[in-house]
A and B are shown apart, each in its own frame.
Chain A
Amino acid sequence: MQRAVNSMGIVFFPAFDWAISPTHPERQERLLYTMDQLKEEGIFDLPGIREYKPDVAKMEDIRRVHFCFPDTGSNVTSSHLISAGGAMKAAKLFAEKQEDKSFALVRPPGHHAMKVVHGGRGFCNVNMEAIMVESLRDDYAIKKVAIVDTDCHHGDGTQDIYWHDPDVLYISMHQDGRTMFPGTGFPGEIGGPKARGTTVNIPLPPHTGNEGFLYVLQNVIMPILKDFQPDIIVNSAGQDNHFTDPITNMNFSAQGYAELSRILNPDIVVLEGGYSIQGALPYVNLGIILALTGLDYSYVLEPNYRPEAVQQEDRITDYLKKVSDAVLKQNRSPDTDAISREREGKFFVRSKEIFYDTAYITERQREYLLDCDHCPGLLAIESSSSRTRNCLGLEIPKTGCEKCTELGLQMFEQSQKEGRFKNIQLIDRIHGESLRYRDDA
């Protein structure tokens, strides 16, 4: 019998009793065939691989990451708490050195959930990776984190949450935003004014195949990771780049995913999207597990895999070389014009309009980041949505300075008195607190 070279803890939670709606792609059946395949392969019998039960995340775990309006409870279900808890359990297994690697094979996904949450968007309500990363930073001496998002959709939520954070490198490779939800993730998006270069976006043209994914991995992602020197590498492993996925247009395969996992060699993997639940997920998940544990995956071939059908066209290969060069250039010597440096007094500001496609909500945001000389700066977000108006979120960063802390507390009190905001949340990452104010009048 084979024995895993790297031990792996698999937190498997298919939530067989939860769905967004009965025929939604993100539904009960999604991991059923993955479970059947993994069980039939005897994966959990292999020495070095062990299955774990997820933890259940607490409301505090969500509040330390998100500004949820009108409140946290109305934006999460038990299923979200378990999925987030599954990611946290995976992180714990790795951080406490119980396992060499861990894989949170959980649903629902989370990478479209942004800092502010008014409802579901892109099948996501809260961000599993961010909840996990913040628990890692609070409970273990982990400072620098790299999140490599290989879902076919741009992980705009994770990008938004870490936009201003210089200690979290967020890299996403995804189908070009001009052809795919959520329509973002272009090479010019490189992070906020105080965290330039810690956001990296590599848009891939439709029909990119194994060759293209691996080219970008080897030539862009791996060098940037090497420069950043993270304490930990997290892979947001969406499986919707697969050639059989019903809602995307890529040509990636199970062998490609396995190869990508072997080269990237992440410490923790968190499942994101992937909706070809019969033709792709059982094989892709198996491939990832085998590759990361150092086992033979050569025989993991989808039934309808024909190399010639998913062969990458030369024009895509050429185009990807250009995109890769551009991304690397942006990362190493950013084009200063590309960075918004709009200011209001001491604050950098930006405005955003966000559409929640799952919950049918529109939101308007004005974001303020204090240009502080001592820390990443106090963050304030004014937000109004079609569901909840007049909301304010304030965040004192984990490495925040005394001045920013004071100002944050002051703004929290003052805004309550002024009465302009009906829902206010202050996240104090230094003291690990989240304070809320709600004007019910």
Chain B
Amino acid sequence: MILGIDVGGTHTDAVLLSREGMVASAKVATNHEDLLGSIRLALGEILKHDSMEGLKRFNLSTTLCTNAIVQDELDAVGVLVSAGPGIDPAHFRIGTAYSLIRGGLDHRGTELTPLDLEQVKGVVQDCRLQGVKVFSLVGKFSPRNPDHEQQMAAVLEGKCDFMTLGHSLSGQLNFPRRIATAYYNSAVWPMFNRFANSVSQSLEELGVSPPHLNILKADGGTMTMNQARQMPVESIFSGPSASIMGCVAMCRPEQDAILLDMGGTTTDMAVFASGDPLIETESMDLVHRPTLVRAMKTRSIGLGGDSAVSCSDQGLCIGPRRLGPCMACGGQTPTVVDALNLVQGLCFGDVGASTAGIQELAKTFQESAQDCAKMIVQTVCRELKRQALELLSRINERPVYTVHELLEYRKIEPQKIYLIGGPGRMLASFLQETLGLPVVVPDHYQVANALGAALARPTMEAELFADTRKRVLTIPVLGVNESVPSDYSLDQARTDVVGRLCRHLADRLDWNVSPADVEIVEESEMNMVNDVSQVGRDIRVKSQIKPGIVPDYDQAVRCVCKEL
């Protein structure tokens, strides 16, 4: 059996699954002051149905780190940055203890200026005097050569609680993002580790002891709790991806499609390409700072079931504000749900209140309440359509760098809409009409997020970079940094990155992956020429284990996803 819990902004959802299907589910309110309490409460609900004996795995998706970052409840971090020429690194300042260290590398990872170790020692000492216990060490072009970061780490060894080395985060080249990500990772480290300890303790107290305890990431994959203790920043914004993975588990999309998750105040939109959820190419922003945290491509639209409807000079005004619940549920302002109540003849809550509210609005337009309600619903659908088209056009404008890719460019063209979330179901037929695409509303749509958390499998990305002129090879996230022969080839690079990734997962995470499950997502091999002769090759391979559903449970919640 597996257990999935998603601690969301409003609710904490839990599901317990066997291979045959859902055993129990629970929904409790999230208490932001006490997330652990919310988790314990949800666990208690599940325990009422089942003792959870033989629980194999517990996957947790939590807003803990997201909240801490958004509310700026962060520990002080000693950020040590070394950079070669380019944009002045002073512009990337973050946190209260940011220091620029003399030393730099160029774009090939060649040292231009040696690292000033005396300066490092001085900065570290100053930080420690100020009580700084966690550090982030970031070098420009460190994925090409981690040497400067490692030199700084050697100075810090034994003098801090924790340090994040920039190159271990990602092989992607982006210095400002590396700085921000490394900063946030260390800044949430103390709090996340306290939380992780409490979770383990609580499970013990409740007599639940899954052999595998995982944390959900924003890219729809999981990481082990031990991995999360080192890389807590990866746990941010896992909520939307939990819902997306829930949809994958239930519907198994195979074509290009759009997912709409309609909640009370917002609708989250995601896109599938040939059934795979799209990952943000440049990773996500955190408090306006772009980071290297891999996330699913989602767009949040300020339009939900509880969005307030009003009139302005421009006509109908829907959202983005929520002024309490719908009138059918005792609210004061008409909402999208009230309009749906009328057009659909839903008999949801107090229909009279819904009608009265819409009637009042309709007066302004000199329309009947029925027509006004229709107008509201159509406006919502049209806005969702507009946003979907805009998101798609952005995705389809994605830059490519080869003649072949540009000419063979495959556009994403959705064939279906998946609709989840509470008010979503009521909107289905209208959305189908406006978008001109079949709409599917899966079962269990209310707990899609917890299902996704429960059923997600691990993900990982690794980039290999080899320079046969310098005879070096690096795979930054795996800590590989070694020499290669001058005739090292792209074929070998492919085999190496896949093999190393599998070995890393088996050794470090006790997770056996077949090389066939590792995808090569990008690769290039270019001759390096000096004057008129070839002096080496620049080889790059990027591989990933994409988000997916754990294999033994792939039929657990598979439902017949009929179109309307």
Contacts and interface: CB of A to CB of B under 8 A. Distances in A.
A39 B144 CA distance: 13
A13 interface: yes
B529 A303 contact: no
B329 to A, nearest CB: 40
B542 to A, nearest CB: 13
B86 A299 contact: yes
Contact of A17 (B174, B403, B528): B403
B288 A45 contact: no
A286 interface: yes
Contacts of A56: 406-407
Interface stretch (B105-113, B127-135, B201-209, B249-257): B105-113
Contacts, number: 123
A301 interface: yes
A1 B403 contact: no
B91 A302 contact: no
Interface string A282-325: 11001000100001101111110000000000000000000000
A394 to B, nearest CB: 33
A61 B527 CA distance: 33
B34 interface: no
A78 B289 contact: no
Q: For chain A, which range describes its interface: under 10, 10 to 19, 20 to 34, or 35 or more residues?
A: 35 or more
Contacts of A299: 85-89
A22 B406 contact: no
A40 B86 contact: yes
Which of A29, A33, A41, A296 has most chain B Cβ within 10 Å?
A41
Given A1-B289, A15-B402, A28-B526, A40 B173 contact: yes
Which of A14, A16, A18 has most chain B Cβ within 10 Å?
A16
A41 B406 contact: no
Interface string A5-48: 00000001111111000110001110011011101111011000
A23 B534 contact: yes
B564 interface: no
B533 interface: yes
Interface residues of B, number: 44
Nearest to B534: A23
Contacts of B174: 39-40, 42, 45
A347 interface: no
A406 to B, nearest CB: 41
Contact of A18 (B289, B397, B403, B534): B403
Contacts of B524: 16
Interface of A: 1-2, 12-18, 22-23, 27-29, 32-33, 35-37, 39-42, 44-45, 51-54, 56, 78-79, 82, 246, 278, 282-283, 286, 290, 295-296, 298-303
Interface of B: 84-89, 91-92, 106-108, 112, 140-141, 172-177, 282, 288-290, 397-404, 406-407, 524, 526-529, 531-534, 538
19 contacts: A12-B399, A14-B401, A15-B402, A17-B402, A22-B527, A29-B528, A29-B538, A32-B526, A35-B401, A36-B107, A41-B87, A42-B174, A42-B177, A42-B290, A45-B176, A45-B282, A52-B397, A53-B397, A53-B398
9 A-B pairs closest in CB distance: A299-B88, A42-B176, A17-B402, A40-B173, A39-B173, A36-B107, A45-B290, A303-B112, A301-B85
